[in-house]
Structure 1
Amino acid sequence: MDTYVKTNEFTNPPNYAFDSHRLRKILRDSSKQPIVLVACGSFSPVTYLHLRMFEMAKDYVRQNTNFEIVGGYLSPVSDQYNKPGLLSAAHRVNICTLAAEETSSWLMIDPWEAFQNYQRTAVVLDHFDYEINTILGGVHTQDGEHRDVKIMLLAGSDLISTMSEPGVWAVEDLDHILGQYGTFIIERAGSSMDQATDNLARWRNNIHLIPQLIQNDVSSTKVRLFLRRGLSVRYLLPSAVVDYIEENDLYLDDGSNSEKEKGKGKDNGLGKREGDLAKGS
């Protein structure tokens, strides 16, 4: 097996700046390990389900772990992912920013992935680690002690299903994502988490499974279909996102037919995508 080589050399998009305005720099409890949650996905458009998974993770962390969350990020995928129904990166970053600012006090958007060539999930997590721990210097306890922040992937259970399928993800990438960083997996309807995690047993201690207590099957695909049919999506998305979509006449025709939507691959909109498949993809 090839070994994943972590890098600290990243190419930034033009005029890029890492957003840390809501990143908490001082730990509330010095006995806990600081973590940042990162959700990668299309977010085309972002829905309440995308935002809700951060709150579910926050509850789980507080009740079941020795972690302390100091920030959460949405990282929209690059336009070069070429998924049917994928709105331009500029619009997706705008609507994610509107959603975070309207609904949350701790979520942020990182446009690094969106405005450049396609980046593998492992590289995206390395980028967050570099920005938060190397550039910003991590966080501190109330007594001034330095602490590095653990970066963790937040995703839906259909992502873990793709990770458990042989040949879909490069093994060295999986080892880096699940071994170096770890993940919180949100249960989604129709996805079995038990079988998937059995196939990923070597990383079991770094995979945290969060049950879905209130079923929610709202998806970006369904929202786009509603919009193309002229149906209301209000109360499925944050109101600022609905207003933005209406003001810019978005998703009236996203170029997707029903067969394309059915074949949209393994992108769950919550986690990542089948594109991290083979080595070097």
Structure 2
Amino acid sequence: MAAQISAHKTTAFTNPPNYALTSHRLRRTLHASTKQPIVLVACGSFNPITYHHLRMFEIAKDFIRQNTDFEIVGGYLSPVSDEYKKAGLVNAHHRVKMCTLATEQESTWLMVDSWEALQNYQRTAVVLDHLEYEINTVLGGVSTRDGGHRNVQIMLLAGSDLISTMSEPGVWSHDDLDNILGRHGAFVIERTGAALDQTIDSLARWRNNIYPIAQLVENDVSSTKVRLFFRRGLSVQYLLPASVIDYIERNNLYPDDGSCTEKDKDKGSESGEADITSSESSNVRGTLGKEMTRLSTN
């Protein structure tokens, strides 16, 4: 059953210069007037965007269609601001561009919202509120086929590794959790190394508005690993869209540090890639966990 949007009035937001919400793929009319329209929003570094980020939306889309009374009318990626100040984070302009290339060429319904990326650091709760304001107040929500009007529910899409940080004391404020999970709601995609059931149990207060989704095909690709591949001069083909790879190479965003020899490169991934997936895999996951913990922390 679709959750109801709680009463909440959102005031206008300050927008970056020349900002306008990208909405060319936002569907403005519901197919089924009995369903609750929703927009999925994924917040993150996207440094760089990978096929796993795109795949998360498709996993959620299947689950929503088969198990809920929601109807998706759009999906957004919201890259974090440069004020996040994580080591190795490339400029927001590049990350927005990479996300735009990926969504425009690999999807028919996903879009990029640059509002968060082009200003000071913004908490996830504020990003969701901003999109709610833009879609429901500025654009006027969506229509039903019989001429009615509906407000759109903005819902977070995240991996279980990010959601698990929400139960850690001092990481997220209670008010932000109540806003994100209680008012907006979240779809949580299972990720390798992050216990999904345990995570949901620790957030029992908002259980009715959290939708856990099993990952039927295991995918452990991360931006952290992709950057490591670039630094070692290893192939990243089929880990992220070709247009994004081309953009990265043209702009030299993740330069090769020379740690992979030409001999290793000629072998494909016989040597270097095996090292990454064995001895360094736990360190990479740990780095990703810390990265997402810092995201949206007060």
Length-normalised TM-score, structure 2:
0.86
Residue 266 of structure 1 pairs with residue 290 of structure 2? yes
1:232 to 223, 227, 235: 235
Residue 32 of structure 1 pairs with residue 35 of structure 2? yes
Which residue pairs with 1:246 in the alignment?
249
Residue 228 of structure 1 deviates from its aligned partner by 0.9
Q: Which has the larger radius of gyration?
A: 2
Residue 195 of structure 1 deviates from its aligned partner by 1.5
Which residue pairs with 1:183 in the alignment?
186
Question: 1 CA distance for matches of 2:9 and 2:146?
Answer: 31
Which residue pairs with 2:277 in the alignment?
none
Residue 160 of structure 1 deviates from its aligned partner by 1.4
Residue 222 of structure 1 pairs with residue 242 of structure 2? no
Residue 275 of structure 1 deviates from its aligned partner by 4.1
Residue 264 of structure 1 deviates from its aligned partner by 5.5
- Per-residue deviation, residues 221-261 of structure 1 (Å, max 9, x unmatched): 1110111111111111011101111111110069xxx9x96
8 Å Cα contact 1:162-1:266 kept in structure 2: no
8 Å Cα contact 1:62-1:68 kept in structure 2: yes
2:113 to 110, 113, 120: 110
- Per-residue deviation, residues 105-137 of structure 1 (Å, max 9, x unmatched): 000000000010000111000000000000000
8 Å Cα contact 2:162-2:289 kept in structure 1: no
Question: Which structure is higher in RCO with an 8 Å CA cutoff and minimum separation 6?
Answer: 1
Amino acid at match of 1:159: L
8 Å Cα contact 1:170-1:276 kept in structure 2: no
| Runs of 4+ residues deviating >3 angstroms | 260-265
Which residue pairs with 2:75 in the alignment?
72
Amino acid at match of 1:9: A
Q: How does 1:1-281 map to 2 (within 5 A)?
A: 7-252=10-255, 263=287, 266-268=290-292, 273-277=293-297, 281=298
Aligned residue pair count = 266
CA 1:263 to 1:186, structure 2 compared with 1: closer, same or farther past 3 Å? Answer: closer
SS across alignment from 1:31: coil
> What residue ranges of structure 2 are gaps of 5+ in the alignment?
1-7, 258-279
